[in-house]
């Protein structure tokens, strides 16, 4: 006796832009909450790419994001021009930029651990929203497939 099998193909349509914007908005909000957004350049550098073939969403930003997340270890001074921009944004005299950069090179920064882990804290906060959005998108794809 031959069994009948029902087979269907479902294309899962993902609106990666909506998810990326959720993450980027979350990162910007966390930066502000942790007072890590003096000039706005770091958060403004965020953008996304979606590789539909591999279903990979990448959120990328300027090189300094590595320091936003984990801080800067002692050993190398940050670029003086960036410290000058930070000083201006914070209302600190430009003349303080070199001593600040030197101190960061000697001792690292920031010392306040609550200012670190912007990415990790953001992902904890936005994960439920992302999962809800993915569930909603998957359900819509399923409904469109089966009519």
pLDDT in tens, 37-60: 899 999 999 999 998 888 889 999
Asked if residue 39 has a cis previous peptide bond (ω within 30° of 0), the answer is: no
Among residues 21, 31, 32, 29, which one has the least CA distance to residue 59? 21
Residue 21 has pLDDT above 90, yes or no: yes
Looking at residue 120, what is its pLDDT?
93
Contact at 8 Å (CB) between 24 and 59?
A: yes
User: pLDDT band at residue 14, thresholds of 50, 70 and 90?
Assistant: confident
Looking at residue 12, what is its pLDDT?
62
Looking at residue 146, what is its pLDDT?
75
Tell how strand 47-51 and strand 56-60 pair up.
Answer: antiparallel
How far is Cα 88 from Cα 94, in angstroms, rounded to an integer?
7
User: pLDDT band at residue 111, thresholds of 50, 70 and 90?
Assistant: confident
Interval 76-98: pLDDT, tens: 999 999 999 999 999 999 999 99
Neighbours of 122 (CB within 10 A): 24
pTM of the model: 0.81
Among residues 93, 19, 85, which one has the least CA distance to residue 56? 19
| Across 121-145, average pLDDT | 89
Looking at residue 52, what is its pLDDT?
84
Least confidently predicted of 27-31, 47-51, 52-56, 125-129: 52-56
């Amino acid at each position: 006796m031959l069994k009948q099998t029902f087979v269907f193909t479902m294309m899962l349509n993902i609106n990666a832009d909506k998810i990326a914007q959720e993450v980027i908005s979350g990162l910007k909000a966390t930066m502000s909450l942790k007072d890590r957004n003096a000039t706005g350049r770091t958060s403004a550098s965020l953008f996304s790419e979606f590789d539909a073939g591999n279903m990979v969403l990448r959120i990328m930003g300027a090189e300094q994001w590595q320091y936003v997340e984990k801080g800067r270890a002692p050993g190398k001074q940050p670029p003086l021009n960036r410290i000058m921009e930070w000083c201006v944004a914070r209302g600190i005299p430009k003349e303080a930029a070199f001593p600040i950069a030197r101190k960061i090179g000697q001792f690292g920064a920031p010392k306040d651990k609550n200012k670190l882990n912007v990415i990790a804290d953001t992902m904890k906060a936005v994960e439920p929203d992302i999962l809800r959005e993915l569930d909603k998108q998957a359900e819509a794809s399923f409904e469109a497939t089966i009519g």
